[in-house]
Amino acid sequence: MSVRVTLNCQLKPGRFQTLLSFLEDNLPNVRSFKGNLQVSVLFDEGNNEMLLDEEWLTVESHQAYLSFINSNGVLEELSSFLSSPPIIKYFDKAEI
């Protein structure tokens, strides 16, 4: 069973367009990382907010990805667009 991961990100004002270019360059890497099943990006430009809605095979596969981007500098670059660290939550799908 997969896990849904949400990352709620508060963006720095005026960085939206630059962030779009960064995401276009980097989302293929996320989507091809072992254990990633999908990534959707949602924006609320009026509130400078972005929601990354991701599906991973396991929590561990997502955490492996976070470790990978921490070591190669991508996480630091992503953080430059944010006014605070993202709020990361893990959800299991309810089979109802």
Please, which residues have CB within 8 angstroms of residue 82's CB and are 6 or more apart in sequence?
9, 10, 11, 12
pTM of the shown model? 0.90
Tell me the one-letter amino acid at 78: L
- The DSSP bridge partners found for residue 33 are none
pLDDT digits (tens, 9 = 90+) for 30-85: 999 999 999 999 999 889 999 999 999 999 999 999 999 999 999 999 999 999 99
Structural domains in the chain plus CATH codes: 3-91 (3.30.70.100)
Q: Which of 92, 59, 85, 53 is nearest to 70 (CA)?
A: 85
CA–CA distance, 82 with 76 (Å, rounded to integer): 10
Backbone angles phi, psi at 33, to 5 degrees: -70, 140
